[in-house]
Amino acid sequence: MNIFQLMMKKKELIPLITFATVGGVGAACMGLYSLSKSDVIINKTTNPEPWENINPHKPQKLLTISQKWKPVEELQKVRKLTK
């Protein structure tokens, strides 16, 4: 039986199918969005330390409210000494 024929016979299934479809599409979109972030490592062999390449001026969260980045002086000194 076709899903559209079933929805026309039982109209109470329309909201259930709609919410399930929207939830599934939203979960898939969020998964794809998360793969584009810098804290997700897919291939460790090409770039084992991806956190070194993070742009501090690009927000790393889905929603960022008044976030300002300042370098930590101690970490900058350690980074200079180890290079």
Give residue 47's domain range. Answer: 3-82
Within the chain, which residues score under 70 in pLDDT?
Answer: 1, 38-39, 44, 48, 59, 64, 67
pTM score over 0.85: no
Phi first, then psi: what are they for 81, rounded to 5°?
Answer: -70, -35
Six token digits for residue 63: 């929603």
- Domain count across the chain: 1
CB-count burial class (<10 Å; 0-12, 13-18, 19+) for 7: middle
Confidence at residue 67, expressed as pLDDT on a 0 to 100 scale: 67
Tell me the C-alpha distance between 12 and 44, whole Å. 48
Confidence at residue 19, expressed as pLDDT on a 0 to 100 scale: 96
